[in-house]
Amino acid sequence: MKKLILAVAASILMSASAYAEVIKIGVVGPFSGPFAIQGKNFKAGIDAYIATHGDKVGENTIEILYRDVPQADPAQSKALAQELVVKEGVQYLAGFYFTPDAMAVTPLLKQANVPMVIMNAATSAIVTKSPLVVRTSFTTWQTSAPMAKIARERGVEKAITVVSDYGPGVDAENAFKTTFEKEGGKVVESIRMPLSTNDFSPVMQRVRNSGAQAVFAFLPSGPTTLGFVKAYNENGLKQAGIQFLAPGDLTQESDLPAIGDAGLGILTTFHYSLAHNSPENKAFVAAAQKAIGNPAELSFPSVGAYDGMYVISKMIEATGGKQDAQKAVDAVKGLTWESPRGPVSIDPETRHITQNIYLREVSKGADGVYFNKEIKTFEKQPDPGLAAAK
């Protein structure tokens, strides 16, 4: 009897697998620890995609496997990616919040025959490390450079840059400085602060004494942003008329309630605002807010993940579920679609996403919710960082 049941069970299982493949996608990101909220956003974006598009691509069913790298840790990221490829047999690797985590995995892709879809890591150079990398997020250069143009348009002659002293901070500084000086402005001083800075008062005093008309700032999203914005207000820089400019990392939606009224009027440039006015975005936000549970926690990594899933679904369509990394990547080169953030496409050369960058102002809605109001659009921005790196 027991044997019979086993045989029946086995035959059901075997026949099921003969009809449709289960395609596994491994997602590496920070799902616990200090950056857990960003990992949660990855998951919310992916869940929103599955909720709106279903978990089937053609005949094939997709299955997501999550692996947790709480902080930037290249060795662990590589080990987990290896495990996903070898033990779990994933056909796609995705996620990657931190640049070093993504960089550590690129050498594996070719041999594993697996494409990598980066849903956040924002350093320009990653896409050059392997021809199998596609990115659906943004780069710090892409979001920072338009801010320099805005500053010039608004009549700023002299600016000062203040960034956290780590990779993306230095990227932001270079992006702003290069563009700003090309446009005829002058960066009077560039301050790099240690990542662990808590009290920004001394920095603000220096900004004030520098005689600059605007301060361009970059800090990683999270606790430090709050202190920085508060210090800007409390040290009288706002009253002194020194403009606050930054890429949108500083005013990500999940930090806005904490910053509160102090943030009103801050100008940022970024690729995505939850308040972007389009039917695609409304549908996405509704699905993602449901997926994440607490709507206040939704932020920009979710849209990178959502679009990442779209790109992967196109890859699966093109390969018919067969494992062929190069064919999959080739299929999405030049892919154009309407993302929740606006019209986007995958640049065939760089495999990075070309997208609109928006100038936004932190505003307060009638319902008391703070949001990033889009007030100007820079259309179809490629990544200027790669050109600058050459």
Partner 1 sequence: MQTFFSIGVDALAYGMILFVISIGLSVTMGLMRVINLAHGAFAMIGGYIASYAARDLGLAYGLAIAIAVLGTIIIAVPLERFLYRRIYGAPELTQVLMTIGITFCVIGLANYVFGPTLKTIPLPAGLQGPVDIGFRTIAAHKLFAIGCGVVVALALWYLIERTSFGVKLRASVDNTAMAAALGVRTKIVYAASFALAVGLAAFGGVIGAELLPVEPYYALRYMVTFLVVVSVGGAGSIPGALIACLLLGAIDTTGRYLVPEYGEFFFYLAVIAIVWVFPRGLMGRAK
In one-letter notation, the amino acid at residue 63 is: E
Residue of the chain from 11, 17, 82, 201 that contacts partner 1 (CB under 8 A): 201
> Which residues are CB-contacts of 312 (< 8 A; sequence separation ≥ 6)?
25, 62, 92, 94, 117
| CB 353 within 8 Å of CB 124 | no
Does 165 participate in binding partner 1 (rule CB under 8 A)?
yes
Candidates 94-102, 222-230, 280-288, 380-388; binding stretch for partner 1 (CB under 8 A): 222-230
Find the binder of partner 1 among 125, 170, 188, 191 (CB under 8 A). Answer: 191
Question: DSSP assignment of 10-73, as one string?
Answer: HHHHHHHHHH-PEEEEEEEE--SGGGHHHHHHHHHHHHHHHHHH-SEETTEEEEEEEEE--S--
- Nearer of residues 70 and 89 to partner 1, judged by Cβ: 70
Q: Which is nearer to partner 1, 54 or 265 (CB)?
A: 265
Of the residues 101, 171, 255, 383, which one makes contact with partner 1 according to CB under 8 A? 255
Contact between 88 and 76 under an 8 Å Cβ cutoff? The reply is no
Q: Which of 375, 146, 369 is nearest to 263 (CA)?
A: 369
**Quick one: which H or E segment has residue 387?**
helix 384-389
Q: Which one, 155 or 293, has the nearer CB to partner 1?
A: 293
211 binds partner 1, rule: CB under 8 A: no
- For partner 1, the binding residue among 107, 211, 223, 334 (CB under 8 A) is 223
| Contacting residue, 4, 5, 111, 198, with partner 1 by CB under 8 A | 198
Per CB under 8 A, 265 contacts partner 1: no
Q: Can you tell me the distance from the alpha carbon of 98 to that of 260, in angstroms, rounded to the nearest whole number?
A: 27
Please give the residues from 24 up to 83 whose contact with partner 1 meets the rule CB under 8 A. Answer: 33-34, 36-37, 40
CB of 229 to partner 1, least distance (A): 11
Beta-carbon contacts of residue 84 (< 8 Å; ≥ 6 apart) = 24, 26, 28, 65, 67, 90, 93
Residue 98 burial (C-beta neighbours within 10 Å; 0-12, 13-18, 19+): buried
CB 118 within 8 A of CB 136: yes
Q: Which of these ranges, 54-62, 143-151, 251-259, 315-323, lies near partner 1 under the rule CB under 8 A?
A: 251-259
Torsion sign across C-alpha atoms 267, 271, 273, 277: positive
Q: Closest Cα to residue 143, out of 326, 352, 294? A: 352
Question: Which stretch, 11-19, 108-116, 153-161, 254-262, contacts partner 1 (CB under 8 A)?
Answer: 254-262
- CA-wise closest residue to 168 among 186, 148, 150, 144: 144
**Residue 241, interface with partner 1 (CB under 8 A)?**
no
Residue from 120, 143, 235, 269 that binds partner 1 (CB under 8 A)?
235
Report the nearest approach of partner 1 to the CB of residue 78 (Å). 25
DSSP per-residue letters across 254-287: TTHHHHGGGGTT-EEEES--TT--SHHHHHHHHH
Q: Cα(326)–Cα(263) distance, rounded to whole angstroms?
A: 45
Q: Count residues contacting partner 1 (CB under 8 A)?
A: 38
Return the residue of 131, 227, 295, 343 that touches partner 1, per CB under 8 A: 227
> Which range of residues in 179-187, 276-284, 294-302, 332-340 is near partner 1 by CB under 8 A?
294-302
CB of 17 to partner 1, least distance (A): 38
Site residues (CB under 8 A) for partner 1, limited to 295-324: 296-297
* CA-wise closest residue to 63 among 115, 21, 102: 21
Q: Does 202 bind partner 1 (CB under 8 A)?
A: yes
Q: Which of 4, 15, 19, 199 binds partner 1 (CB under 8 A)?
A: 199
Quick one: 11 or 71, whose CB is closer to partner 1? 71
By CB under 8 A, name the binding residues for partner 1: 33-34, 36-37, 40, 165, 191-194, 196-199, 201-203, 205-206, 209, 222-223, 226-227, 230, 233-236, 239, 254-255, 257-258, 260, 294, 296-297
